[in-house]
Amino acid sequence: MEGELTFRMIWWVLLLPLFGFLVQSLLGKIVMDSLGKRIGRIVMGGLAVAPVAMAFVIALGLTKQLAGMHGDQTVILTLFEWITTKSLSIPFEFRVDTLSMTMVLIITGIGSLIHLYATAYMAEDKDYTRFFTYLNLFVAAMLILVLGNNLALLFIGWEGVGVCSYLLIGFWYHDVENSKAANKAFIVNRIGDYGLTLGMFLIVMMMAAVAGNGMGFEDPRWLSYDVIFANIEGIKNAFPPAIITLTCILLFVGAMGKSAQFPLYLWLPDAMAGPTPVSALIHAATMVTSGVFLLNRMSWLFELSPVAGMVVTLTGVITAAVGAIIAFGQTDIKKVLAFSTVSQLGYMFVACGVGAYWVGLFHVTTHAFFKALLFLGSGAVIYAMQHNQDMRNYGNLTKYIKITSATMIIGWLAIAGFPFLSGFFSKEEILHAAQAYHVEPWVGQVAFWGALAVAVMTAAYMTRMTMMTFFSGGERWKLIPAHAHGHDHHHGDHHDHDLAHGHDHGHGDHEDEHGFFYSDAEMAEIAARTPHEHHHDLDETHTPKEVPWMMWVPLAVLALASIFGGAGLVYWTSLEGWLSSSVVVAHHEEAGHGAEHATEHAATLGSILTEFFQNPLFWMSLTAFAVGVGYGVWRYGKGLPENDGMDTGKWNPLRTWAGRQLGYDELMSDGVALKFGGMVGRVFSWLDKTIVDGIVNNVGALAQRIGDLFSKTQTGFVRGYTVLMQLGVAAVVIAILYKALMGGGQ
């Protein structure tokens, strides 16, 4: 009873971010108007960070309590009956187990750091409290997704993060490009959501069939995980593999949308239109991990379908490769990281596809550390560079922003696979899992060599980004003439300060901090008395400055996690053993290869290192790192190559192709959405006008013709009506006589 009472604290993990959402939405404007801009933002910023940080502290305590349990480490808590029918029950219930708590720690831990960072990053934005309203709600929706004990609650959280991402990506909706990006994310995710919904319907159908087969299954909670998992054997025996595979594929389509897998990755790079803290939250700790979580949660079902596993694996390989190739052609620092996220998500799905679900979640965790660090670090660079996002205007920034550069270099080494940093461990485990996959050997080979090739590309394009930003021989922004606009090629994070100071470029009207419009004459007066640095133009006179402590403290914490997080998860906590009660642990893994297995015979640092050095995968991973980093340093270490510079006409065809996203975005937007969509629209328009309207109109016309026919009998002459009456009477008499005569004849 005491343990259950302790676990009921899980409700507070959800309620605290919801409380923050309500405070920001209901009291934000009142507090800001009452206390003034400076004090009001300190108060409201604190009220945004505190709920998420407190939720993290509670989650830590619950995780410790869960780790101390013996046997089944699962606690199910029901708050109330939500939907009840004659045969189906869907309660509002939470599932506290090792998988859900791992995700909760990522969401609240990384989320609280991002919230703290955002208090400084968004300090000059006129919609400060609106931003934190959406951000708190985003965290709450993600918590519902991972904590719910049934697919219905997962779907509520699933749609919740979708709506919040729409609001945050389009946060600066004054710019039509941002609104388009938000619409694109929302629409593309509808495709995935449709697949998830159909998969849920098939699960209900299968559970209903199992219940009707008299297998001793009477629990009406057909969408609850514990009920589904308890009846996996019944599902396996009652349905052919094709139905189970179809169900898994439909669930995977949902995961493809949220986790940006090929071909539904289109929305993720455009999500850069939102503020940088949003990019960090979406790409590191929340929305993009939803699909990987779904596959882990439903791993018991996916294990019944080797075909579905192969589809997941091959999709992951394609996504990882496509994301890595496109990243080479990007000049916007956030776009590089966006396509890096697409690629790393492919890695996670490769792990899940080959049956190493815990490895996929391991990479989710380490990726959250270094990708949040890199995104927040990129925001610090953008902040220091007058909100310019073009890496071609950077260079030698280690001289000016030492804390930011040091932490981002750690993030670069972690994602590139430098030995014993967090990314190294999870990537090596993915390679090991792919190598050990024998259900369909050729799939395992494709996964292994594909993942290894992507590891080389990852090290190369991330080195390119690091060299162009922090090294590359010169301070290229000093080549920009004074008063020239350094951000005319970009839309994105410069926009927050433009709005805050009334420089909403591209619009005829200008807003003040309360949303009231300034006239052009008033804008001219404001511009005349505004110091030059408020114009945010990057030129030769600019000197980059380090960010405030609210921004570099999260960077420092994430840098430490990127250094020690991987080793901590495999050596101090044994992540595989921790997750074994919540996800399927692949039976085909062989001991003695991956980082997790290095501890089986190792008790000291020396023996652990010996185990690694004797492992061929270690040397293959090290070679991939060395080749990728070596190429990046050779190519970009001394300066910006001419065929990668400002003049895109001098780019080589491969670089241009990668910069255009391989033409896939144009194909889908112009070819599929506009041309094919237009053709489908014209077909349905013809059907509507010809068939639907034709039926409706012809029925009306037929009724009119019948009416016209009978109206001819209405002559208006009494003698005519008399004749008709006599004819009617005669017909009746004849009928009676005929019946009588025929009856008499018998």
Element (DSSP H or E) covering residue 92: strand 89-97
Residues 362 and 486 in one domain: yes
Q: What is the dihedral of CA 131, 133, 139, 143, to 10 degrees?
A: -160
3-state secondary structure of 90: strand
The CB-based long-range contact list for 154-161 (8 Å cut-off, 24+ gap) reads: 154/294, 154/297, 155/196, 155/197, 155/200, 158/193, 158/196, 158/254, 158/258, 158/290, 159/193, 161/258, 161/286, 161/287, 161/290
Residues 520 and 442 in one domain: no
Whether 192 is in a domain gets the answer no
Whether 242 is in a domain gets the answer no
pLDDT at site 701: 80
- Show Cβ contacts of residue 440 under 8 Å, excluding neighbours closer than 6 positions: 306, 310
pLDDT at site 472: 74
- Cα distances from 19 to residues 24, 27, 60, 139, 147, in angstroms, run 9, 11, 20, 11, 18
Residues 720 and 710 in one domain: no
Whether 341 is in a domain gets the answer no
* Residues 15, 17, 22, 27, CA torsion sign: positive
pLDDT at site 573: 61
Tally of domains within the chain: 4
Cα–Cα distance for residue pair 145/93, rounded to 1 Å:
12
Token pair listed for 46: 């604190």
Mean pLDDT by 10 residues, the chain (746 residues): 69 95 92 88 93 95 87 84 86 92 94 94 88 94 94 94 92 88 89 94 90 68 88 89 95 93 86 87 80 94 93 96 91 91 94 92 92 93 88 88 94 93 90 90 94 95 92 77 47 40 37 38 43 50 85 94 83 73 66 45 55 80 93 86 65 72 70 67 79 80 78 71 82 85 63
User: Are 155 and 200 spatial neighbours (Cβ–Cβ below 8 Å)?
Assistant: yes
pLDDT at site 216: 52
Whether 509 is in a domain gets the answer yes
Q: Within 13 Å of residue 574, how many CA atoms lie on the same side as its CB? A: 10
Q: Cα 497 to the chain's mean position, in Å? A: 26
- Cα distances from 234 to residues 1, 80, 226, 273, 417, in angstroms, run 33, 28, 14, 47, 43
Residues 518 and 501 in one domain: yes
Cα–Cα distance for residue pair 326/347, rounded to 1 Å:
16
Written in H, E and C, the secondary structure of 300-335 is HHHCCCHHHHHHHHHHHHHHHHHHHHHHCCCCEHHH
Angle subtended by helix axes 422-435 and 616-636, to nearest 10: 130
Residues 518 and 446 in one domain: no
3-state secondary structure of 356: strand
pLDDT at site 241: 93
Q: Cα 710 to the chain's mean position, in Å? A: 66
Among the three residues 620, 643, 659, which one is the final residue of a domain in this structure?
659
Residues 459 and 599 in one domain: yes
Residues 438 and 562 in one domain: yes
Whether 147 is in a domain gets the answer no
CA diameter of the chain: 122
pLDDT at site 199: 95
Whether 309 is in a domain gets the answer no
Question: Got the DSSP string for 515-554?
Answer: SPEEPHHHHHHHHHHS-GGGG----TT----PPPHHHHHH
Among the three residues 475, 506, 535, which one is the final residue of a domain in this structure?
535
Whether 529 is in a domain gets the answer yes
Determine the structural domain holding residue 446 and report its residue range.
358-490+548-659
Cis peptide before 263, with omega less than 30 degrees from 0? yes
Residues 583 and 685 in one domain: no
Angle at 359 between CA 409 and CA 596, to 5 degrees: 85
Question: Tokens 């899980």 identify what position?
Answer: 10
Residues 430 and 463 in one domain: yes
Cα–Cα distance for residue pair 551/274, rounded to 1 Å:
18
Angle at 402 between CA 397 and CA 405, to 5 degrees: 65
Residues 553 and 525 in one domain: no
Residues 377 and 448 in one domain: yes
Angle at 477 between CA 476 and CA 483, to 5 degrees: 145
Whether 422 is in a domain gets the answer yes
Q: Cα 537 to the chain's mean position, in Å? A: 33
Residues 552 and 468 in one domain: yes
Main-chain dihedrals φ then ψ at residue 95, nearest 5 degrees: -120, 115
